[in-house]
Structure formats: structure tokens, C-alpha cells
Chains A and B, each alone.
Chain A
Amino acid sequence: MASKRLGRTQDATILVLTSLSSGPKHGYAIIKDIEAMSGVSFGPGTLYGVLARLEEEGLIETMAAEGPRRPYRITATGATALRQRLEANVAIAQIGLKRLGAFGA
């Protein structure tokens, strides 16, 4: 229950960028990848809100459309931003785990 509650608060931006860091994907593939990776189910409205924002910020870009599906890929700027964010998260996670260890949880 507690992990589920934490799962809901995960940053959608990180999830989408992490999904795209393994290679270009179209919308449905991103949703399925995030679901498998984190258990978070994105709806199309949420996903395309994030994709539009990331594209506007230059963190991802579109590739040639394959029928109605258009694949997205992470840009170099996006990869750098994701790396920085994940490294910061790792540092916080390590401190948190250390403190929880002392707490005996």
C-alpha cells in the first residue's frame, strides 16, 4: 500500500525520459514500458501532456511518423538532464536508505 502511494507521486517527466533512454518509442510503447518499469499506468491525456512539454523544452524530439504512430527519441540535452536528475535522486535515495537502516526499518 505504502509503495503504491509512493508510486503515484513519481515524476512523469523522469519516467518518460527513462523510457526513451533505451531507444525511440511511440506513445503506446512508452505507456507499456513505463507500466512494466514502475507499475504506473499513464493515460493518453497525461502522456501527451508530458510529451508536448518535453518536446517544447527540447528534451525529446519526434521522428518520421509510421502511419498514425509517431516515435519520439531523447535528445542529447534530454539525456544530460535525465542523468543529472537521476544522479541527484540516487544521492537522496542512498541517504534515505542509510537513515532508514539506522532506524531499523
Chain B
Amino acid sequence: MRGKAVVEQVLRCYPTWWRARFEQEVRSVAEDLLAEGRSPLGVCLNLLWGAVRTRTRATAMPRIYELWSVRTRISIAAATLPALLMAPLVLVAMGNSSPHSSAGRVIPPSLPLFGAGGANLLINSKRGFVAAPPLAPAVSIVNDAAFAILVLFLVTFVVLISGWGSLTGAIRRSATPHRRSVVLLAWAPVFSLLADLALIIAQDPERPTRYVGSRPVNGNPHAVLVLGTILSIVAALGWLVSILCVALAARRAEVAPSDLRYGRTVSLMVAGLLTLLLAAYLCWGIGLALQTHQAAHGNFTTLVNSRQDLWVPMVVILSGAVTLSTICASTARRSYRVISLITV
């Protein structure tokens, strides 16, 4: 009896079109299997796996524009949003790098992204300023990878903005039910940015500008601290809520095939950029490890990064995001191909 109830719940995991066609039959087969003594857990897990495959492969999904349009839109959103989540995280996880030598404190405390090899590094020692040991050869890998990550971040940002612009434009042109609320959902990232901006502006007049010793004589440091905390919370929450809202808007917006084509292109580009970002981040981490190894065998100046410990977990998370994005972009491409056939 309990097995039947679980089967009933698992059948709800299948898409509506599949349930309309197969649910009754599958329920009957599952009940027959349970009656003959098949393990309820085995039957349910098999059905659950079937539901996952049906949703991902869409085998036998009727050639109806609405169904394939929803599938394409969800795939585009699922391929694109990991980049929105991951790109800023990678930048945060890269932290700051500063040159380090066993001979003493290195000046200047940071290296330029361009021409780091030619930087005039000095060491502040008891004998005054002396030339620092040369940079470890692998420092160039670290710097080049950091530069590549920055460029990829900017390109991804431009592609995402272009995709978002296309989405909002498509919603405005569409006959989506409750269009105004869908437009509001799509504009969530802008509202979130405006809230961040308002908090930064509110923080500014409270910031102390004159000090006696280390004590501020004007402004309100306590208010700055409180507003700074609120800003961090609003920025993080706003970012996550924005991702969710854009995903919802993409799900609900009934857009034209031409807009879906652009969305598909954006999702493919984002998946590619995210893959390159992973490659650059891998090089960055490997470069950091390599220069430490080189410094252990020679007198070199190396780069020390405050967040190097985050490298392994970030690689794991980023690999997951790349996999998801690539699979979904490929699904969007396949789904759009079906749409092209339907709309011919």
C-alpha cells in the first residue's frame, strides 16, 4: 500500500505531457510489479531515474511549439545563470596577490598585471633598500592567468548584459500573460544594483574625513559600519534573488522563435566562456603552486595569495557549473533545432 503511494508521488516527477500519455500504463505496470514482490524501493528509484531521463532527453515530447519553447527557455536560463553565479565568485576567490621574499618585505606590495617581469622590486632591509631576488618564472603564469580571468569576466558580463537586454526586449514584444510582473522579474538585477548604489551613497556622508591621531572628528563610523553590513547583505541577497527572478522571467516569458535563437547563441557563448574561465583559474592555481616549488629550489620572489586555500573547492564548484552550463547549452541548441522544424 505504501509502495503504491510512493509510486504515485514519483509519477508526479514526470512532465505533464508524459503523464497525459503514459501515466496510467506505468502505474498499472508498477502495481503489477509490486504485487509480484518486486522491491518498492527499486521500482521507485527506477521510475525516478526514468523521470530524470525523460526531463533531460524529452524523448517522445509532442512537437508542440509551447512545450519546446519552455524547454529551450529553461535550458538557456540554466546554461547562462551559472556564469552569473560563478564569475563574481571566482574574482572574490582570487583575492589579492602580493610579492614575497624570504629576504624581507618587498616593495611595492603589489605587481602590475602588465609587465610584472620588468617591475623594479626592492626589499626594505636593515642596510636600506636593496634589489629583491628575481621573480620566480611561474609568476608570469599566475599573472597571465589573472589577466585572462579578468578579460573573461568582462566579456562574460557583456554577453550576459546583451542576453538580458534581449530577454527584456523579447518580453516587451511578446503576448506573455501578466507581462508587467514578468518584466518586473526580469528587471530584478537593476533594482538590486540600485539598492546597492543607494546604500553606498547613504554611507558616503557618514564616512569620517578628518582624524586626530586615529580618532575621527567628523562623520559617524558606527553608521558606516552598520550601513556597510547592510550593503553586504543586500548585495549578496540581491544577487541571488536577481538570478532567481531572471530564471523565473525566462520560464514565464512566451517569446518569439527569433528571440529564442539569440538566447541559444548567448547560452552557447556563456558555456564556452565559463569553460575558458575554468581553464584560466586552473592555470592560475597551478602557477601559484609552481612558483612556490621554484622558490624552494632557488632564491626567487614569489606571489602570496590571501585566498589560495579556496582554490580546490572553487575548482570543484566551477567544474560543476561548467558541466551544468555545457549540458544545458547543448540542450538549448537541440531544442531550438526542433523549434526550427516546428515553425517552418
Contacts and interface: CB of A to CB of B under 8 A. Distances in A.
Does A associate with B in a complex?
A: yes
29 contacts: A26-B25, A26-B29, A27-B25, A27-B26, A27-B29, A31-B33, A41-B38, A43-B33, A43-B47, A44-B30, A44-B46, A45-B46, A45-B50, A46-B46, A46-B49, A46-B50, A47-B29, A48-B26, A49-B53, A49-B59, A52-B18, A52-B54, A52-B59, A52-B60, A53-B60, A56-B59, A56-B60, A67-B28, A68-B28
Contacts of B33: 28, 31, 43-44
How large, as a class, is the contact surface on chain A? 20 to 34
Interface string A52-66: 110110000000000
B25 A70 contact: yes
B129 interface: no
A43 B41 CA distance: 11
B51 interface: yes
Contacts of B191: none
A69 interface: yes
Contacts of A27: 25-26, 28-29
A49 B28 CA distance: 16
Contacts of A70: 25
Contact of A45 (B28, B48, B59): B48
B22 interface: yes
A68 B50 contact: no
B105 interface: no
A48 B28 contact: no
B204 interface: no
Interface of A: 26-28, 31, 41, 43-49, 52-53, 55-56, 67-70
B313 interface: no
B27 A48 contact: no
Contact of A44 (B24, B43, B60): B43
Given A45-B49, A48-B50, A28 B60 contact: no
A53 B29 contact: no
* Main SS class of interface, A: helix
B198 to A, nearest CB: 51
Contacts, number: 67
Contacts of B53: 45, 49
Interface string B182-212: 0000000000000000000000000000000
A44 B26 contact: yes
Contacts of B60: 52-53, 55-56
Interface in B5-58: 18, 22, 24-30, 32-33, 38, 42-43, 45-51, 53-54
B192 to A, nearest CB: 41
Contacts of B46: 43-46
A68 B25 contact: yes
B24 A45 contact: no
Given A52-B59, A53-B59, A68 B47 contact: no
Contact of B47 (A26, A44, A67): A44
A48 to B, nearest CB: 5
Contacts of B47: 43-45
Given A47-B29, A68-B24, 20 more contacts: A27-B28, A28-B33, A31-B29, A43-B33, A43-B43, A43-B46, A44-B29, A44-B47, A45-B47, A45-B48, A45-B49, A46-B50, A48-B50, A49-B50, A49-B59, A52-B54, A52-B59, A53-B59, A67-B28, A68-B28
Contacts of A45: 26, 46-51, 53
A68 B27 CA distance: 8
A3 to B, nearest CB: 22
A26 to B, nearest CB: 7
Contacts of B51: 45
